[in-house]
Every structure is written in structure tokens, then in C-alpha cells.
Structure 1
Amino acid sequence: MLALSIGVAVTLGPADVSLVNVRDIVLNHLAGAQIPVRPSEDAIVWQERLPRALVAAACGAGLGLCGTIMQSLLRNPLADPYVLGVSSGASTGAVLVGVLGLGGAALGLSGGAFLGALIAFALVLTLARMAGGGHDRVVLAGVASTQLFSAVTSLIVFAFADSDGTRGIMFWLLGSLEGVRWPDVMLCTAVVLAGTLICLRCAHMLDAFAFGDEVAASLGLSVRRVRLGLLLLTALLTATLVSVAGAIGFVGLVLPHAARLLVGTRHVRLVPTTAVLGAIFMVWVDAGSRIVFAPTPLPVGVGTALVGVPVFIVLLARRRRAA
């Protein structure tokens, strides 16, 4: 389904390209085939649409994976990188590097985003502890952190960026896959694959956390060390994806719940299922944002929010009834 989704998404756009031509172009580049294709179609598929679809798939898989980890470690179905402020912190870090030049080439957008994500999550944990601890307070602290870093990002953009740069940065902050290229594909894919493999190796640990810290400790787990390591992994994943595609919200909130409905709660099945579902979801959201609102594409983060916010409201209502 994922391969077919990517293939079909690549065919969609102002210039019609058949699925057979997409196959031929991919074979020409990857297998050295000499199948005749039009140069214009080759450029459209290989330089523009295919990298965009692959980055969308990687972003969906990575953000879904982050949501799965956070919901398990915090035992809160409303946890995800966007709600907990990690995405907003990563955006602020990337904007500080991109607009103000802090760190310059030595730090880069990815490095700035990673530091911003770490600072944001440290702030969330500090605020939650000051409020008395508890998993629900972590979410409330995340909402406050999101608003704070969003305000700081907006201040930096409007105070220091020129008018042309402001529009481009704000479009990117809403989630944009415009202009992604093969180096972005390699970066996002490598980070997401590594994160998925790590989570699969830690699947039994995530299962243990689902029953609480005391149960996890009784099974011989170092609760603080494992939690810190996996949360750092989510920060790295989020920062990398934000630096490429901007802040895309609600993917990590919605997709883990959809995966649980399909395969249950055991993480050895939940982790890969969430990653694949997230990839398929993002490929189609991006394709829809390109086609429905052509010639000006809709920021992909807006499309994910249109789906994610209603699901978030339903989860809040279910959580209230359960309480």
C-alpha cells in the first residue's frame, strides 16, 4: 500500500505522468535501464515529485513513531511532539539559525532544531514538575510551551526577516515540502529507519512502561535511563523532520491510535504499523495539498491539522468520560 501510494502520488499534478512512466524512470535511475522517456517527465518525477513523496512518507513515519513512544512513556493518549511543544521548540531553534545566523554553518538548521527541541522538552518537564508532576500536567505544560515557542518564533520572523523571507518562513513553519531534494530524502529516511530499529529493539521496554514505572522497574529496567534515552530519540527525530519540512502537527497523535485499532497494543507490532500508516497518511495529505489547492499548494501542516484536531477533540471527550 505504501509503495502504491507513493507511485500514484507521483503521477498526480498539473503535468500528467502515468504510473508506467514512473516505473520506467525509477528503473532508469536505479537499475541503469535504458527505457525511453521524455526528459521533461524524467525531471518532474525524479527531481521534484518522487523526492517530495519520499520525504512525506519519512515525515509521517517518523512523527507517528514519536507519538507512539511519547504516549507509551508518559501513559497519556494525548501526547505527541506537537502537543508537547517539541515541534515548536525545534521550529524556534531552526529559525534562530536560519534568520539570525546563530551558530552559522557549524550548527546548521538540523542542529538548531535539535537544540530547540531539547530545550522545549526540558522546559515541559520542569513546568510539569513545578505543577506537582503527573502525566496530565505534562500535556498542560506542553500546551504552554507550544504557545511560548510559537510566540518567540513569530517575534523573530517579524522583527528580523524581510518581507519576502517572512512569507517563505511562515509557509515553512506551517509544514511545507516545497523544494525538498534527494539529500533531504537520504537524511530523513536514514534517521527514521534508525529510530524504527531502535524502537523495535526496545519494544518489550515500551510494553513494560504501559503498566507503569513500578512494573517496569520490577522487570529490571532502569526507568529513568530508558525514558531519557527514548525521549532524546523523539527529540532527534522531531528536530530532523522539522528542519526539513517544518512543524507538522497531529500526525503523532492520530496514527498511533489508528494502529492500535488494527494490531493491538504490543509494540513489536505497533511500532512498524504506526510507521507505515503514518507514511501512507502523509503521502496522501501532501498529494491532496498539491492538487486541491493548485497552483498554490496548501501547507501540509494545515491538512494534518484539519484531520488531527477533530480526532484530538474526540480523544479528550473519551478521556473525560473514562475519568
Structure 2
Amino acid sequence: IYRDITPQKEAEEQLAYTMKELENIKYALDESASVMILDANGTITYINDMYIRYSEYQKEDLLGKYYRDAGLRHDLSELRETIKSGKVWRGELEMWTKHNQLYWVSNTIVPLKDIDGNITYYVSIHNDITEQKALENKLHFEATHDSLTGLPNRAMLLKELNKVIEKGQRKSDEFFALLFLDCDNFKQINDEYGHHIGDEFLKAYTKRLKSCVRKGDRIYRLGGDEFIIILNVTNGREIEQIARRIHVSLQQSWNVRGYCLRTTTTIGVSIYPEDGESAALLLKNADDALYKGKREGKNNYILYQT
């Protein structure tokens, strides 16, 4: 008695081929990404070796735990809402190793469904992008900060000043001052001692400025010897007190690379909202007050007057 088993053999061969193909895919995935599998409740059921290498956790630390216990420390509500609806979630996440070292991942979470369309598992795939994020942050910092002093630059000033103004437009009692500073004899320092001493002086100038302001105040360098300070204040008396303190501090002598330097600073002040409700107008009026101070003999601080 003969029985044709060709279809069965073909099915077995196809199954073996499929299993090998899946094994190859799993191998490729395990060698290129951190993989975690969670059940429908968010409980971790599988972690590959690469995840262990990056996270510094052991498998026993995480198996049976929830996804949020795997090094995530921020709100996951949007992520959960997306995957519970059966959609794929993609995004970047801050992750923390077992020993509290920060790293960044590009994360894709894919819901897997059974034949009836019910979600049974989630596959979470992480790719380490820590170096990429570090480079992005470095480039962003260089684009928005002065390379010599490390202070925010003009681009950052305009961005943040507009934010403060928007906040003021929403709150009728918002009040702040803009201080425009110019070192009166910086050119003389450069001419007499050289630009390398001039650069060191600007670094020392920045350090002293930081010691004069409070935590919520912001200092910017526009270029050369021009600086801007945004003061969070509540009244005109407070503005004068801080401006006077800065003015007095900047008159003290400077020891730069063995040279004893003496210089003064002129400061122009504009106040939001009475001296302007736009960044351009506040800067213009502070600049006008500054040059009025220059005309009146320098080494002073002047509040803008119409």
C-alpha cells in the first residue's frame, strides 16, 4: 500500500525553511538592537543579551517586571495610549542603566495580535543613539552659545526674550528689565596687551557678571564687549539696586595673566512693558540709554527715558 506524502513533506520543508528564516531574523535583530518582549499587561517576558549589555541589568532584575522598571523615568502615557490602540510607536527615549548612567535610544514598539485581533505581546526594539544625541547637543550648544565665554549668544537672546515677553502678555503683572552693558575701554586692552589677554579678560568679566546676578537672571554676550542681562524684578528700586551692584563690581581691578587691568562699564536699562513690548524695541531703547550714558562721560548706568 502506497500513500502519497508529498504535500506533507513539502509542508515540513516549508516549516523548516520558515523556522530557519525566523532564526536568522532573530539572530540579525539580536546582533543589531536591544530587544524586549512584553505581554499584554506590560510585563517583561524576554530580554536579549544586547539589552543586558547596554542597561547593565541582569535578566533576573527585569523578567516579570513592568516596562517602566527597565530604566525609564518619564511619562509614558502617550506611548501606552498609542500601542494599546494597536499602533506602532516610534520615538526617542532617555534611559538609565542600573548604575544610573544616562543613555539615549531610538525606540520602536510593535503590538502583536492573535488571529482574533487581540494584542498578545509588544516587541520593543532599542537602538543606542547616545553618541548621536551628544553630537546634536554639541552642535546646538555651539549654534546658540558664544564659543569664548560659553554664554548664550544673540540668537538665544532673541528666542528667550520673546518667550519672556509672551509670558508677560499672558500675565498682566509681569515685569522685567533689560540691561545693555558695554566695556568702556576694552579696545585699549586689546591694543596694549594683545587679543589673547583681551579674551582672558572677557572670560574674567563674564565670571564676575555671573557673581553679580541671581539664579533667575540670564546673561548673554552679543559680541565683542557687549553683554545683555535679563533681570527678573518686581519694581524699579530693585532694578537700580542690581544695576548699581553690577556697575560697582565691574569697576574693581582685574588680574589677568599677571597684568593689573582697570576698566569701567556703561549700562543702559529698558523696562518691560513701559519701555517696549517687543524684543526689538526693548533692545533699541536699552541701547539708546547706553549711548546716552556714553555721551555723558561713560562709567554709569542710565534708565531709558522717552
TM-score by length of 1: 0.24
Q: Give the number of the structure whose residues are more often helix, by fraction.
A: 1
Question: Which of the two has greater strand per residue?
Answer: 2
Question: What is the TM-score with the length of structure 2 in the denominator?
Answer: 0.25
Max Rg structure:
2
Larger relative CO (CA 8 A, sep 6+): 1 or 2? 1
